[in-house]
Amino acid sequence: MTVHPPVTGHCDELQDALTAFRASAHLTQRWGERLATVLTGGGRLLAAGNGGSAAQAQHLTAELVGRYRDDRPPFSALALHADTSSTTAIANDYGVDEVFARQVRAHGRPGDILILLSTSGASANLLSAADAARAAGVRVWALTGCAPNPLMAGSDEYLCVEAPTAATVQELHLVAVHMVCAAFDAAVERGTWRDGDGRR
């Protein structure tokens, strides 16, 4: 592994990781297109992560409910950590491992998609959410750090980022989020819309 200097070396680490990431990034195209099929059909995206990964999950749902680049109808997407009353109540009453799983059981329907973001790929509350999703007929996608990890093993599809630090993993997760959104918007644009609220 190349040892980079502090501060400016961060850019070098990111560049190295981006080169490796690019080889598997085609998966984001498929995810964006599949997401378009699900959401235009009335389905929902659920997203979850911890810490910085929670911010990335919320970034993704904001792009779908709002917009990524060009104006288009809003779509149903929920960041499960963002409801602080639910998350704190669930953590208090059922334990931290149930924080996302219980919400998946509440909001997820067969055919929906759950995307889980984790630099470690080992967070117990995300693994529980993946189990709950599969039991509910919700498809599970994972954005993780280095493979192998438990979350990739518990998901239907996964994109693992090979990078030396959690910060660089999160930066490439944001790249992946934007690539999914670009593919999603392109797929939506190819559709035929009957009215302004997204029904066709």
Total-model pTM: 0.91
Q: Report which of residues 200 and 76 the model is more confident about.
A: 76
Identify the band that residue 7 occupies on the pLDDT scale cut at 50, 70 and 90: confident
**pLDDT tens sequence across 137-163:** 999 999 999 999 999 999 999 999 999
Residue 135 reports pLDDT greater than 90: yes
Average pLDDT, the chain: 93
Residue 194 has pLDDT above 60, yes or no: no
Work out the pLDDT band at 191, boundaries 50, 70, 90: confident
pLDDT, mean of residues 74-94: 97
pLDDT 10s digits, 91-129: 999 999 999 999 999 999 999 999 999 999 999 999 999
What does the pLDDT look like over 16-59, one tens digit per residue? 999 989 988 899 999 999 999 999 999 999 999 999 999 999 99
3-state secondary structure the chain: CCCCCCCHHHHHHHHHHHHHHHCCCHHHHHHHHHHHHHHHCCCCEEEEECCHHHHHHHHHHHHHHCCCCCCCCCCCEEECCCCHHHHHHHHHHHCHHHCCHHHHHHHCCCCCEEEEEECCCCCHHHHHHHHHHHHHCCEEEEEECCCCCHHHHCCCEEEECCCCCHHHHHHHHHHHHHHHHHHHHHHHHHCCCCCCCCCC
pLDDT at 193: 39
